[in-house]
A and B are shown apart, each in its own frame.
Chain A
Amino acid sequence: MRSSAGPLLGAVLASALTVLAGVGLMATASTLLATAALHPPLYRLMLLVTGVRFFGTSRGFFRYLERLLAHDATFRYLARLRTRLFAALIPRVPAAARGLASGRLQERLIGDVGRLESVPVRLLVPLGAALAVLAAVGLGLGRLHPGLGAVFGLGFLVATVPIPALGYLTAVRLGPRRGALSEELRQAAGELAEGLPELLVYGEAGGRVRALGELARRQARLERQEAALFALGEALLELAAGAVLVGLFWIGAEAIRQGDFPARWLPAVVLSGFAAFEAARPLPQAGVLLAEAGAAWRRIGTLIALPDPAPEPARPRSRPRRHDLELRGAWVGYPGASEAVLRGADLALPERRQLWLAGPSGSGKSTVAWTWLRFLLPQRGEARLGGSPIAALEGTEARRALVYLDPHPVVFFGTVRENLRVADPEADEEALWRALEAALLAERVRRLPAGLDTPLGPGGVVLSGGEARRLAIARAVLKNAPVWLLDEPTEGLDGSTERALLRRLAELLRGRSALWISHRPLPGLGLPRYRLEGGRVRRA
C-alpha cells in the first residue's frame, strides 16, 4: 500500500507557496507603487513589474498542485485506513462486534471512517502551511527589524493556537449533544413517517408532531449557541489580523525613521504581514475537525480493542480426519455480555446425520453454529470437531469442513461470478453453472443482461430475498463441504418458495451432516427435533 507521507508533504509545501505567492504579489505590487511614487527612470520598475506578473500567475499553479497532492494523500490514507480497519475487525466479526453485521453500528462505523479519512489532509495541510508561512514571513520581517518579526509572530500565533482551540472546545462541548439531538430527530422523523398509520389510528400523531417540533427547537437553540461561538472565533481572527496590520505600520514607520531599511519598503512590510494571514483563515475550522476526528477515533478504537473471542492456538493441532461435531457442557457467551448464552449445552452431530434445532428467537441457536465455526470459544466445557477440541485447531482449518448459511444472506457488491467465487476463487465456468443449477438459480442468471458478469446490488440487479438465499446456497454447493449449518434457511420466504427450497436442500444434503436451525417447522424433512431453551439443549 502506498504511503501518503510524500503527497502530504508536497501538499503542505504547495499550500504554503500559494499563500507566499500572495504575499509576494502584495509586496512587489506595493513596492512597485512606492518606487513609482519617487519617479525613477522606467527601467528601474521593470524588475518589479516582472515580479508582480510572476507572483500573479504562480499562485494559481501552486493552488493547483496543492489540491491535486492533497487529494492524492487523502486517497492513499483512505485505502490504508479501510484495509487496516478491515484486517483488525476480521477476528472480531461476527462474534465480538455483533452489531456490525447489520444496522446502526455498521452505519456509525462507516460514517466514522468517512469522517476520518479526509481529516489528516484537511487538518495537517492548513496547519503545516500556516507554520511554514509563519516561519518564512516571520523570519523575513524579523531580519528587517526584530519588532516587526515579534508583532507578526505574536499575532499569527494567536490566530494559530487559541482561536482553533476555541473551535475545538466548542465542537467538543456541543458536538456530542448536537449529534445526539440530530440522532433523536432522525429517529422521531422515522417513527412519524413509518408509524403514521398506527399513530393516526391511535390518535397519537399530534403528540408526535409536537414532540418533533420540540426537538427541532432544541436543536435550533444549540445551533445558535454554536454559531455564536464560531462567530467569536472569527471576530478574534479578524482582530488579530488587524492588530498585526496596525502594529507593522507603527513599528515600520518608527524603523524607517531610524533608517533601519529604505522608506519605500514600508508598504511591502505592512502588506506582506497582512497577506500572510490568509494561511491562518482555515485554522478555526481545523479545530472543529480535530474534535470530530477525535470522537470518531475513540469509537473505532473501542471497536478494535474488543477482545478476540476465539484466539488462535499457539501450537495448533492438525485437522482431524472425521468431522463429527459436539458440544459438551459448553458455556458460551459474548464478550461484554454479563450472561452466557449457552449454559452447559450438550449436542452431538455425528457424521452424515441431520437434526433440527428449534427454540425461541434469542435463545442462542446461532451461537451453537458459531461455536462450531470457531467464531467464538466456550468458556467452560468443550466444543469438538472430529474428536479434537475446536480451541486447539486453527480457525481456517476448523472451518474447512463446514459451510454456514447465514439467516440474512449477503450479496456482495460485485458480479454474480465474483459473488460465487467467494467460495472458490479457482472455480471454472462449468462449476459455477453446476452450483447455480443445484441452487435453482441458473435460469434466473441466464436471463440476466450479462449472465454471470451482471453486477449485483445497488446500481446493478437487486436480487429478491429468495434469490439471495439461493445464491448463498450456490456458494455453499461450490465449497462441497461435508457439514452444513443452516441458520433459519427459510426466513422471509413465502409458502410455495419455502417448500421448493426445502425439497432442493434435502436433495443436496443427502449423505452429509446438517444442523438445521429454525424456529419454524421444516415440513417434509422429518428430522429429529432438539430444542434450545434456557441455555441448554433437550430432545423434543
Chain B
Amino acid sequence: MRGQKSGWSLGLAGLLAPVTLWLGLFFLVPLLLILAYSFGTSGVYGGITLGFNPSNYLKVFDPLYLEIVVRTFVIAAINTLICLLLGYPLAYFIAFKGGRWKTILILMVMVPFWTSFLIRAYAWVVILNGNGVANKTLQFLGITDGPVNLIFTPGAVTLGMAYAYLPFMILPLYAALEKFDPRLKEAAQDLGASKWHTFWRITFPLSMPGVIAGSILVFIPSAGEFVIPNLLGGSRTVLIGNLVQQQFLQARDWAFGSALAMMLAALLLAAILFYVRHVGTDKLEGV
C-alpha cells in the first residue's frame, strides 16, 4: 500500500517536473529579474546598475504617470463592465434558449479567435479612421456632415478592447449558467417571485462564479493591454502597457519600466482580491 502510494508520488512528480521547470525558468526567474531591475539605476545610455534604489517607484506617483495609471484602471474597469453587460444576455440566451444549437453558438463566440489578434486590431483602424467605414456610414445616413474624429480617443480604445475581450467574458458566464438547474427558477416563481425577482435573487447570484471568473479574465489583460491603445489610442490615450513598452524600447529606462510592471502586477493583485472579497457570492445572498 505504502509502496504504491510513493510510486504514485514519483509518477506525479515526474509529470509535474516539466511544468515546474518551465514556469521556474520562464516565469519566476524573469519576474525576480524584473523585481531586481525595478530597484536598480538605469545608465544614461541604457544598461542597468543593480542596487537598492526606490526612486523608480516614487516616480510612478508623478502626476504625469499617475494619470496614466488611473486611466488604465478606469478603462479596464469600463471595459469589464461593458463586456459583462453585453456578454451576460448572450451567455444567458445560449445557456437557456440555445437548445441543440448551444455548441454551435458557443463555437461562433470563439470564431474571432481564428483571425490574428493584430489583424483584428488593425481592422478597427480601418473602420474608425477619417475615411473609414464608420465615418462613411455616418455621412451616408446624414448623421454627420463631414468626417468626425473617432480614432485616437479613449472611446476607440474601449471599443477595441470590448471587441477583443468579449469572448473571455462569455465563456465563463456560459459555463456557470449552463450548470444552473432551471427547476430553481420554477421553484422561485412558485414561491411568488416574478421573472425579474427570480433573476436577481436566484439566477444572478448563482452565476456569480462565472461573473467573477469572466471579470478577472477580461480585467487583467485589459489593464496590461498595449497593442489596442497603441493602434486606436494614439499619443493621447497612453496606458501603463504602452508606458512600460516605451521605457524598455524607446527611453531605455529599464529600471523605471520594471518598477511600472511591478506596480501594475501589485495593483492588479490588490484589485482582484478586493473584487473577489466584496463581490463574492456571500455578499449577494442577503439581498
| A and B are interacting partners | no
A residues apposed to B, CB below 8 Å:
none
